[in-house]
């Protein structure tokens, strides 16, 4: 195993171990505050009706990877460092000659977070990373899918403290999808708001 790869895996394991060793703040917040707030707002009769955050899916695409696979390798290393979880490489489904894209060619990666890792990432995203966005005033309330899920587009990975901006040679964006058990977008928005997501009307 190459020394660089070994170092990367050790860093990912370190982040993962830190997450497993703590009870994320947002889990307690959900139990102590969010459930009560949503039951009052939506007049649920049963606590089981209260929406939950089920998973967070993170997807990155590296179009330039068709010319330079090292760009994808770097992007994958960064997203694994940010989340503390190993990424699954995504591949092209068909060839597109105009883009020099071959079928089954690695072009991106995805990670699905659940449980403690999901809440720990969520907390860092809202409390630490989002405020690092230039001229940040909040995120759009229009990116719900009609089924209680919300997708946030992040333009630069350097908003996360795990990434050393001075060493970044290529800015990589990502889509972060919050998958909830809510039956409506209004309930999903109330859930995410209660966790501290700063929505603004667009």
**Domain region containing 29:** 3-200
Average pLDDT, the chain: 84
As a whole number of angstroms, the distance between CA 46 and CA 81 comes to 39
Q: Tens digit of pLDDT for each residue in 7-46?
A: 556 665 555 444 444 458 999 999 999 999 999 999 999 9
Residue 167 is given by DSSP the state G
Tokens 């994958």 belong to residue: 76
As a whole number of angstroms, the distance between CA 23 and CA 116 comes to 7
Residue, of 116 and 93, whose pLDDT is higher: 116
CB atoms inside a 10 Å sphere around CB 103: 10
Q: What is the pTM of this model?
A: 0.82
As a whole number of angstroms, the distance between CA 127 and CA 58 comes to 18
Residue, of 69 and 122, whose pLDDT is higher: 122
Q: Tens digit of pLDDT for each residue in 152-195?
A: 999 999 999 999 988 888 888 999 999 999 999 999 999 999 99
Looking at the 3D structure of the chain, how many domains does it have? 1
CA-CA-CA-CA dihedral for 97, 102, 105, 107, to nearest 10: 10
Q: HSE, CB side, 13 Å, CA atoms: give it for residue 92.
A: 17
Domain with 142 in it: what CATH number? Answer: 3.30.1440.10
pLDDT at 95: 57
User: Strand locations in 80-161, DSSP E?
Assistant: 88-91, 106-113, 139-140, 149-154
């Amino acid at each position: 195993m190459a020394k660089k790869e070994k170092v990367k895996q050790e860093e990912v394991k370190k982040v993962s171990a830190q997450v497993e060793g703590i009870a994320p703040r947002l889990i307690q917040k959900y139990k102590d505050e969010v459930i009560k707030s949503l039951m009052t707002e939506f007049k649920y009769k049963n606590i089981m009706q209260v929406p939950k955050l089920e998973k967070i899916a993170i997807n990155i695409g590296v179009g330039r990877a068709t010319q330079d696979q090292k760009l994808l390798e770097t992007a994958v290393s960064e997203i694994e460092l940010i989340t503390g979880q190993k990424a699954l490489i995504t591949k092209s489904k068909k060839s597109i000659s105009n883009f020099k894209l071959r079928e089954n060619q690695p072009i991106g990666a995805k990670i699905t977070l659940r449980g403690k890792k999901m809440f720990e990432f969520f907390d860092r995203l809202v409390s630490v990373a989002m405020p690092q966005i230039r001229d940040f005033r909040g995120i759009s309330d229009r990116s719900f899918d009609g089924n209680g899920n919300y997708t946030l587009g992040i333009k630069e990975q350097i908003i996360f403290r795990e990434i050393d901006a001075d060493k970044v040679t290529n800015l990589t964006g990502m889509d972060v999808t919050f998958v909830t058990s809510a039956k409506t977008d209004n309930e999903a928005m109330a859930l995410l708001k209660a966790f501290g997501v700063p929505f603004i009307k667009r």
